[in-house]
Structure 1
């Protein structure tokens, strides 16, 4: 598959999440991810999009842009919005070590989405500057079975 990104822009509404999941399935199966890996990615991407829908725009509406990039046995999925975001997300990079230094009881209500994304993906990066950008990465294991 060509290492150019596939970009999808959807309204920030839950009604459009099935389009995102269908596109993710098509892309991930085309490059050879297993059914289980694709299902994990669908959950993580849905969570990131749901966060954008719930927190970025409130009542005024907006857009979510998704970019899928396959390169060197890794699928990089970027979810961007230009909304205001959640107050709890730091303005710097959020890394796995920052999140896992705190007990799960200290996570704010609705803050488990990042933990879920990290459990399902190989890497998760969140940046909140002029909107929010979530980058999810999944590497192909050597023993992936084609869908």
Structure 2
């Protein structure tokens, strides 16, 4: 039995499709039980990753594809956004990528890096590979507890809707 579910999407590298992926990640994360704030973070991070691809991966004469994969685990959501790629095996991709370590390594990417800084701030873990195109693996862990308005820790199971 598989330890996770995997959902894969391919969209044209056009700005008008970013909203489609935002809706998809919102639906997946909501189904998994992520908080509202975490879902918003996921939507911003995936928008940044796809927008970088739309703006930088292909020239004006070529409309390429953006490949998005969602690894759905019990405790986390892993998202791969790639350009210039073919359909990928999630486990194989994870073995070939690693975290970025410095400003210099980010600045060598075509995107220039600012979007990756934002993604890194919103996600729990970010790994990249730019051997062929750019591949970004983003991980967001599901928090079992949240903080209420008074700063007290609450769990999702103790919230009353009364």
**Contact 1:99 1:115 (8 Å CA) reproduced:** no
Q: For the aligned residues, what is the CA RMSD?
A: 2.6
TM normalised by structure 1 equals 0.80
**Contact 1:48 1:113 (8 Å CA) reproduced:** yes
Counterpart in the other structure of 1:13 = 14
Q: Single out whichever of 18-27 and 74-83 deviates more from structure 2.
A: 74-83
Which of 124, 127, 131 is the aligned partner of 2:126?
124
Counterpart in the other structure of 1:33 = 34
- The 3-state SS of whatever aligns with 2:129 is strand
Q: Which stretches in structure 1 are left out of the alignment for 5+ residues?
A: 84-91, 103-107
Structure 1 position 124, deviation (Å): 0.6
Structure 1 position 109, deviation (Å): 8.5
Counterpart in the other structure of 1:3 = 4
**Contact 2:100 2:128 (8 Å CA) reproduced:** no
Structure 1 position 22, deviation (Å): 0.5
User: Once the two structures are superposed, what CA deviation does each residue of 1:68-106 show, in whole Å capped at 9, x if it has no partner?
Assistant: 1111401000001108xxxxxxxx95635324999xxxx
Q: Which stretches in structure 2 are left out of the alignment for 5+ residues?
A: 86-95, 147-155, 158-162
Of the two, which has the highest radius of gyration?
Answer: 2
Counterpart in the other structure of 2:91 = none
Larger relative CO (CA 8 A, sep 6+): 1 or 2? 1
Moved over 6 A (4+): none
**Contact 1:96 1:118 (8 Å CA) reproduced:** no
